[in-house]
Structure 1
Amino acid sequence: MTKAAEIELAAVTKVYGAATAVHAISLKIPAGTYCCLLGPSGCGKTSTLRMVAGHESVSSGDVLFGNANVTDLPPAQRGTAMMFQSYALFPHLDLVDNVAFSLKMKGVDKEARRAQALEMLKLMQLEAYAERRPAQLSGGQQQRVALARALITRPEALLLDEPLSALDPFLKIRMRAELKKLQTSLGITFVHVTHSQEEAMALADLIVVMNEGRIEQADTPRAVFERPATAFVARFMGDHNVLSGRIMERTAEGLFIEVIGGGRFFALGAAPVDHDQADIAIRTDHVRIGAAPADGLGFDGIVSNVEYLGAKVKLTVTTAFTDEFTAVLTDAAFFASPVRVGEGVTLSWDQPDSIVLGRIVK
């Protein structure tokens, strides 16, 4: 089995002219981890991946693989392989020669490199297509060829730049399963850039949520989902409502905030004592309709949108203090007491479903 790389970024910064794309981020990715860099366009995730790969210079800070500082090493000397979003396959070469290309550049003799290429194609279940050219393959098959070409060098880490973005939704789900299975069987470190929350949740052992060149949270998928670290993470992951307001009271368990437009809400946790403002998050799928709320754990509003999504129904509620408060109900719960757009509703939740969020200092 190929050795896996432990990757560490130590205060890594990337500056393009007057713009800072990555702000002194520090991150440790354990060996053999499937890590997803997640965030919106322009958040710095691809720049970070390219600095790990060596395709982009580091403005300041260090990139470490194990105990080795690789900051100034070229890509070929890092023990990594990169799979690009476009796949970048050679249209005039058959699959064997596409996969074997990097070995050819290293001077491996033809018979040996073709044997290794066929072995990789077999791993990807593409040996039957060995003599075809890329244009004769489906999108999913082309992706597997690109993976085979990247893996033939036996890298310690595979770096993937939005590898599923060009695929249709059904194929994305299939390829997600194949990527995870492949990473588990090879045991090497995968670092995967994506803007899809669902993709990151399905694949990653470690999710790194980035925003404006900074890391907002790096944790397991479950921790990111259930306990977002900041308002940005809570909003970006889409599973929490976020309310911001002035701290009115602190208790042993949490605090009460008052939001502009009215409304007093409780959340578990604490904010720094020198802060008079706080952000709180409320789980969308734990919001109920109809039940009378306890103090600080609900409100009355008007239904502004209803989306039927099969197993669940998404309600959007408007109030004086927010235009969009979301409740995600099971279809059974919704249809037991359905509501329509324009109707008034009472929303409530339990104390554990409302938490105080942290804030990134910029």
Structure 2
Amino acid sequence: MSKAAEIDIVSVSKVYGATTAVHAISLKIPAGTYCCLLGPSGCGKTSTLRMIAGHESISSGDVRLGNVVVTDFPPAKRGTAMMFQSYALFPHLDLVDNVAFSLKMKGVEKDERRAKAMDMLRLMQLEAYATRRPAQLSGGQQQRVALARALITDPDALLLDEPLSALDPFLKVRMRAELKKLQTSLGITFVHVTHSQEEAMALADLIVVMNDGRIEQAAHPRIVFEQPATAFVARFMGDHNVISGRVTQSSEGKLMISVPAGADFLAMDKGAAGLAETADIAVRTDHVRIGQPSEKGLGFTGSVTNVEYRGSSVKLSVIGAGIEDFTAILTDKQFFVTPVKVGEAIPLCWDIEDAVVLGRLKH
């Protein structure tokens, strides 16, 4: 297999008429990394992937693969391969000819390209199906054919556009494991577009959270999960409550905000708020407990609006103290010691370390 390539995206923008889909983003993806571009629909992640691939022109900025600026190269000359969401297999060709197609376009001899296609089908554990057509395969098998076809060109980087979206939930989990194993064994750079936080967490070494054509955070999954950079990341990853309010006091690395309804909340501030008049703070949902807070600003009393049993955990939704929607994730053991019902008023609390001030993007 060929050497993995570092991908360097330098101040890349994509403009369609009066609409800017991607705003001058810069990102370094180290060679051999499994990178997931994560975000809601319309955030610019697929446009970014297509610009790396060369299927979309770049309005300004550059894309570098290894030491080569590939901004103006056609897709076939970039050393990347793209696997599309729809798989785009040829229905009239058997698997060998589907996989060998790009080599045929390059003028590789029939015996040589078919032998290489069989090697790729073996890698995907599909050699027994070599003479079948795509319609005779399951969704997971079709996906592996599409992967084999992308990988036969020995790319330095494989680009995947929502590759698991068409699969059922069980198959998604199995294919995630296959993709991770494949990337580890090939050692090449994978860039994978998804809107699923769970998928990105399971696969990536580097998660790039995008919103509105900008990068909100690019970091290891654990950092994105435990230390979201902005309110958007905290909300999108779904593991933090975000409370916004007016800064009323700031000293010794702590900050107090006041929400419109009058409750005060305390948080650790590593300088993210600066001299701003307002701030967003994040509180980990799984670190919230039922009980009275140890000091002012580390809890509130609210009314339970929903109780969702999830097996090993229970999710409580609570409203109160000027907060519309607050989540507490308790272990089933914690919950069933003193179960609560919808409509009950309960005190919630957390530790100071679990409330942090979030940064804000400078647009």
TM-score (norm 1): 0.99
Partner SS for 1:249: strand
Give the match's secondary structure for 1:324.
strand
Residue 170 to residue 102, structure 1, CA distance change in 2 (3 Å): same
Partner of 1:64: 64
2:281 alignment counterpart: 280
Contact 2:300–2:321 at 8 Å: present in 1 too?
A: no
The one-letter code matched in structure 2 to 1:14 is: K
1:196-215 matches, cutoff 5 A: 196-215=196-215
Counterpart in 2 of 1:219?
Answer: 219
In 2: Cα distance, 1:92 partner to 1:318 partner:
57
2:84 is matched with 84
Instruction: Show CA shifts across 1:123-159 (max 9, x none).
Output: 0000010011001100000000000000000000000
- In the alignment, the residues of structure 1 paired with residue 196 and residue 274 of structure 2 have an alpha-carbon distance, to the nearest angstrom, of 36
Equivalent-residue separation in structure 2 for 1:271 and 1:116 (angstroms): 54
C-alpha contact (below 8 Å) 1:176/1:202 kept by paired residues: yes
What residue is the counterpart of 2:142 in the other structure? 142
Scaled by the length of structure 2, the TM-score of the pair is 0.99
| Cα separation, 2, equivalents of 1:228 and 1:335 | 31
Task: State the shift of 1:320 in Å.
Answer: 3.9
Cα distance in structure 2, aligned partners of 1:212 and 1:151: 31
Structure 2 counterpart of 1:170, one-letter code: F
- Once the two structures are TM-superposed, the CA of residue 305 in structure 1 deviates from its matched residue by 0.4
Report the counterpart of residue 254 of structure 2 in structure 1.
254
Deviation at 1:272, TM superposition (A): 4.3
| Alpha-carbon offset, residue 253 of structure 1 | 2.1
- Counterpart of 1:184 in structure 2 is 184
Match of 2:14 in 1: 14
Alpha-carbon distance change, 318 to 215 in structure 1, aligned in 2, over 3 angstroms: same
Bigger drift between 64-73 and 177-186 goes to: 64-73
Q: Is the 8 A contact 1:293 1:347 kept in 2?
A: no
Give distance in 2, aligned partners of 1:164 and 1:257: 42
Distance 2:273 2:304 in 1: 35
SS at match of 2:48: helix
Q: Using the TM superposition, name which of 288-297 and 28-37 deviates more.
A: 288-297
Deviations 1:54-100 (A, max 9, x none): 00000000101122111000000000000000000001111000000
Is 1:289 the counterpart of 2:310? The answer is no
Residue 37 of structure 2 aligns with an amino acid whose one-letter code is L
One-letter code aligned to 1:274: L
Q: Which piece of structure 1 moves more, 45-54 or 293-302?
A: 293-302
Q: Residue type of the partner of 2:30?
A: P
Distance 2:216 2:272 in 1: 17
Identity of aligned residues (%): 75
Alpha-carbon deviation of 1:281? 0.2
SS of alignment partner, residue 86 of structure 1: coil
The one-letter code of the counterpart of 2:233 is V
Cα RMSD over matched residues?
0.8
Q: Which amino acid aligns with 2:355?
A: S
3-state DSSP class of the match of 1:153? Answer: coil
Bigger CA drift: 317-326 or 184-193? 317-326
The equivalent of 2:229 in structure 1 is 229
| CA deviations over 1:150-172 (Å, ceiling 9, x no partner) | 00000000000000000000000
Deviation readout 1:12-57 (Å, 9 max, x if unpaired):
0000000000000000000000000000000000000000000000
Question: Given that residues 293 and 299 in structure 1 are in contact (C-alpha distance below 8 angstroms), is that contact kept between their aligned partners in structure 2?
Answer: no
Q: Which runs of 5+ in 2 are unaligned?
A: none
Report the counterpart of residue 333 of structure 2 in structure 1.
332
Counting matched residue pairs gives: 362
